Amino acid sequence: MNFIGLFLGIAALIIIGLGFLWVIRAEYHLGYLWWPYFLGLGIMLVIGSLLVPSVWGSAILGILGASIIWGSTEFTTQAVRTELGWYPFNQQPRPDPPFVGKIKRWPSPRL
C-alpha cells in the first residue's frame, strides 16, 4: 500500500487549518497592510519547493506556500470581519510595514 497521498492530504489539512489561525492572528497583531510581504513569502516558498529534491519536502513547501499566498489575499477580508465585530479588534498601535504609502495605493489581491 502507498500512504504518501494519505499523509500529504493530512498535512495539507493541517497546514490549511492553521492558515485560518495565522491570518486572524497576523491581522490582529500587524494589520492588513502587511499582505504584500506574506504574498512574497508564499511565492518564495512555492519557488523553493521546485528546488527541493525530496518529494515530501517539495510537496510540504508547495502546500505551505500556496496556503500563505491564499492567506495574503484574506488580510483585507479579515480586517472587514474585525470591523464588523466578528473578531476582536486590537486597539494598540500596530507597526506600519515598510513602504506603507505605496502599499495603500495598491489594490489588495482577491481570490
CA-based end-to-end distance of the chain? 37
Which sign, positive or negative, has the C-alpha torsion 76, 101, 26, 56? positive
Give 67's pLDDT tier (boundaries 50, 70, 90): very high
Residue that the C-alpha cell 512555492 belongs to: 46
User: How many structural domains is the chain composed of?
Assistant: 1
Mean pLDDT of 80-109: 86
* Amino acid present at 97: P
Residue 68 lies in a domain: yes
In a domain, 105, yes or no: no
Residue 36: per-residue pLDDT? 92
Q: Residue 57: which of 107, 3, 1, 7 has the closest Cα?
A: 7
User: Is the pLDDT confidence value at 37 over 90?
Assistant: yes
- Residue 104 covered by a domain: no
Whether 100 has a pLDDT exceeding 90, the answer reads: no
What value, to the nearest 5°, has the Cα angle with vertex 16 and ends 11 and 21? 125
CB-CB contact of 38 with 25 (8 Å):
no
Task: Round to whole Å and give the CA distance between 101 and 99.
Answer: 5
Q: With bands split at pLDDT 50, 70 and 90, how would you rate the model's confidence at 59? A: very high
Q: For position 95, what pLDDT does the model report?
A: 85
Q: Which domain holds residue 90?
A: 7-97
Q: Does pTM top 0.75 for this prediction?
A: yes
